């Protein structure tokens, strides 16, 4: 039996193709939700949009400091793993849920598979970098999305026989949901937007939104971009960001802020955006897959493939650099290769886990 551990919005989305593959292959599995994300629009909305079965367990750990959150998740997961005795545990990505899940399982000598292994920003100030390095080094089987990610693992001494390049399950999720999003969805109309007539923005990284200067830089940059191009800026706002905008008393005038959107709504916006500005990992990948140019509001990225194919550029959070990067990306042709695979990563992961067992 396979235990699929997830806890945040991107994990629900990126694990959904693996859950579907388990169902299609008739595999015995269960889902364990840590409850790291818990607001309706960061959690339940995705189970509904993606029509995913209810998790068998939800630890409801909620928010906290890194140690509090990671510790609570480990304690909860250990109890369930001792009862259920799965043969393998799958974790995805780089969140505290992943760190805690991989640690708890490996100490019980349960095989750990890490989906989206091998990503590196080479910036250990990011909590995600610590989480992914630890998870990679204690996993028994690693599923990097690309050859670049595989190379990162091998440079760190992880044996090649543990590594299987699968593509990124986000490509599966886009393929499985884009047509449904287009068919079912009238969000563009509801927001009064036209295709390619707006910029789409997300930002939630701790190093950006918990830092007043960087968050202010992002908001000023967005206003400058709106003035320059006379196009609406749509910003579905992560709760962490909403909290910090309020705490710093910053103005959102001129920016069309919405609550976080469900996956079908969001895909619809992303596919129709003129350009995406973001610090999200998932958005750098998705916009690249969708053929929408991306300006990344960070100084580094663990998704270098997006920059290499010409779909993405690193801007940081200085307003004038953001503006220049938008101008640059809009002047480029929108044809590049999708480096994230053929949309069959989920099935590959499940088949490989079964083979390893």
Q: Which does 37 bind (CB under 5 to 8 A by kind): ligand UD1, ligand UDP, none?
A: ligand UD1
How far apart (Å, rounded) are the C-alpha atoms in residues 179 and 177? 6
Q: Which residues, numbered 204-243, are part of the site for ligand UD1 (CB under 6 A)?
A: 204, 239-240, 243
Q: Which stretch binds ligand UD1 (CB under 6 A): 37-45, 142-150, 190-198, 302-310?
A: 37-45
Identify the residue among 260, 319, 343, 346 touching ligand UDP (CB under 6 A): 260
Cβ-based neighbours of 158, under 8 Å, separated by 6 or more? 136, 137, 142
User: From residue 230, how far is each of 225, 233, 255, 257, 346 by CA, in Å?
Assistant: 8, 9, 12, 17, 41
Q: Which residue has the tokens 């480990």?
A: 74
How far apart (Å, rounded) are the C-alpha atoms in residues 34 and 78? 12
Q: Which does 235 bind (CB under 5 to 8 A by kind): ligand UD1, ligand UDP, none?
A: none
Nearest to 8 by CA among 45, 40, 27, 33: 33
The least CB distance from residue 281 to ligand UD1, in Å, is 6
Q: Which residues, numbered 237-296, are part of the site for ligand UD1 (CB under 6 A)?
A: 239-240, 243
Q: Helix crossing, 281-290 with 263-272: angle to 10°? A: 60
Bridge partners (DSSP) of residue 3 are 30, 89
Catalytic residue flag (residue 66): no
Identify the residue among 6, 266, 290, 305 touching ligand UDP (CB under 6 A): 266
Backbone φ, ψ for residue 143 (5° rounding): -120, 75
DSSP 3-state assignment of 323?
A: helix
How far apart (Å, rounded) are the C-alpha atoms in residues 119 and 282? 12
The least CB distance from residue 44 to ligand UDP, in Å, is 13
Q: Which does 38 bind (CB under 5 to 8 A by kind): ligand UD1, ligand UDP, none?
A: ligand UD1
Nearest to 293 by CA among 339, 341, 330, 340: 330
Q: What angle do CA 166, 169, 173 make, to 5 degrees?
A: 145
Draw the binding track, 154-193, toward ligand UD1 (x: CB under 6 A; -: no contact): ----------------------------------------
**Residue 37 in the binding site for ligand UD1 (CB under 6 A):** yes
**Residue 235 in the binding site for ligand UDP (CB under 6 A):** no
The least CB distance from residue 79 to ligand UDP, in Å, is 27
DSSP 3-state assignment of 107?
A: helix
Q: CB-wise, 13 or 105, nearer to ligand UD1?
A: 13
The dihedral over CA atoms of 39, 42, 130, 283, expressed in degrees to the nearest 10, equals -160
**Residue 7 in the binding site for ligand UDP (CB under 6 A):** no
The least CB distance from residue 95 to ligand UD1, in Å, is 3
The least CB distance from residue 100 to ligand UDP, in Å, is 16
Catalytic residue among 33, 37, 114, 204: 204
Interacting residue ranges for ligand UD1, rule: CB under 6 A: 8-10, 36-39, 42-43, 63, 94-96, 127-128, 204, 239-240, 243
Interacting residue ranges for ligand UDP, rule: CB under 6 A: 9-10, 13, 202, 204, 236, 260-261, 263, 266, 280-283, 286
Active-site residue set: 204
């Amino acid at each position: 039996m396979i235990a699929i551990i997830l806890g945040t919005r991107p994990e629900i989305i990126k694990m959904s193709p693996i859950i579907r593959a388990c169902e299609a292959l008739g595999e015995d599995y269960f889902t364990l939700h840590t409850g790291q994300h818990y607001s309706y629009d960061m959690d339940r909305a995705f189970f509904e949009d993606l029509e995913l079965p209810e998790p068998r367990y939800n630890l409801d750990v909620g928010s906290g400091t890194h140690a509090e959150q990671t510790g609570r998740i480990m304690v909860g997961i250990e109890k369930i793993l001792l009862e259920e005795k799965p043969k393998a545990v799958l974790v995805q990505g780089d969140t505290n849920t992943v760190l805690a899940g991989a640690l708890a399982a490996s100490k019980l000598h349960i095989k750990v598979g890490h989906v989206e292994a091998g990503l590196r920003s080479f910036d250990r100030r990011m909590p995600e970098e610590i989480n992914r390095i630890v998870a990679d080094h204690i996993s028994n089987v690693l599923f990097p999305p690309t050859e670049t990610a595989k190379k990162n693992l091998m440079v760190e001494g992880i044996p090649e026989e543990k590594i299987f390049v699968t593509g990124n399950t986000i490509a599966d999720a886009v393929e499985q949901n884009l047509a449904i999003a287009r068919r079912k969805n009238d969000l563009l109309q509801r927001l009064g937007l036209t295709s390619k007539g707006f910029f789409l923005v997300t930002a939630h990284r701790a190093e950006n939104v918990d830092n007043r200067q960087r968050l202010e830089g992002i908001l000023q940059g967005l206003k400058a971009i709106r003035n320059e191009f006379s196009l609406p800026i749509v910003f579905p706002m992560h709760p962490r960001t909403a909290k910090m905008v309020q705490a710093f008393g910053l103005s959102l005038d001129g920016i069309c802020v919405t609550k976080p959107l469900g996956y079908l709504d969001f895909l619809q916006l992303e596919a129709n955006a003129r350009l995406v500005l973001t610090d999200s990992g998932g958005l750098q990948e998705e916009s690249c897959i969708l053929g929408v140019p991306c300006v990344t509001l960070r100084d580094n990225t663990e998704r270098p493939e997006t920059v290499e194919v010409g779909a993405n550029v690193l801007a940081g959070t200085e307003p004038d650099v953001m503006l220049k990067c938008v101008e640059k990306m809009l002047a480029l042709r929108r044809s590049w290769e999708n480096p994230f695979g053929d949309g069959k990563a989920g099935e590959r992961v499940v088949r490989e886990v079964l083979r390893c067992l």
